[in-house]
A = this chain, B = another copy of it.
Amino acid sequence: MFKCDGFRRRRKAERPAEILEAAFDAFAARGYAATRLEDVAARAGVTKGTIYLYFSTKEKLFEEMVRSHSAGLLADADAILGRIEGASANRLRGFLRFLYGRCVTDRRGREILRFMIADGKSFPHLVAEHYRDFVLPLLGMVSGLVDQGVAAGEFRADLPRETVRVVIAPTLFLSVIRLIFGDAPPVDEEAYVDAHIELAMTGLLAAPT
């Protein structure tokens, strides 16, 4: 009655994830339209037919791939946020560094952004999901931090609307730079991150009275 794990049965359980991983690499390397399913298959160590056992079309494969790879980008952001101690300025600093590590430097986060920019028009539902599940929660977290700082009198009380987006914008800049120039971007990334945090803090902090 109980099925023992044989080789093929085990593969069957692992195949979808293997294919999704291969699909990520392939689509990231050449873009949706230019990627052949045979490329994906070869990367996954199977043949094209196998892909169609698990995914009905190229489009569905792409959608599933984006979903599986964008899930978890913000997974433990809340936890991280809870773990950073101290004043609001310090917590915001820590969270920006988390963002750089998780969503900018990490290849996965960057390539998701490329998919949104390059192929979002063909997958509007994916864009809407990404906005709902990633962008909005992220904005919420940073807004919370900033509001907290304002309430504590630590940040300026007269911050203009949309300040939060301006604060995180430079993280996206670095993502884009890496997308365009690859892993040897014409930017000193460490200095850039420092400059960003420094400038954001100076702009946010209340003038000493």
Contact = CB atoms under 8 A, between A and B. Distances in A.
A32 B188 CA distance: 31
Interface stretch (A18-26, A37-45, A56-64, A171-179): A171-179
A166 B166 CA distance: 10
Contacts of A131: 181, 186
A121 B28 CA distance: 10
Q: What copy number does this chain have within its complex?
A: 2
A173 B34 CA distance: 27
B127 A180 contact: yes
A157 interface: no
Size bracket of the A interface: 35 or more
Contact of A162 (B33, B159, B192): B192
Interface string A172-209: 11101001110000111001101110111011100100
Given A114-B117, A198-B160, A166 B180 contact: no
Nearest to A161: B191
Contacts of A81: none
A167 interface: yes
A159 B194 CA distance: 11
A77 interface: no
Nearest to A204: B199
8 contacts: A31-B33, A32-B33, A33-B33, A120-B179, A163-B195, A165-B170, A172-B173, A198-B203
Which 7 pairs between the two chains have the least Cβ-Cβ distance?
Answer: A169-B173, A118-B118, A33-B33, A203-B203, A199-B203, A169-B170, A33-B34
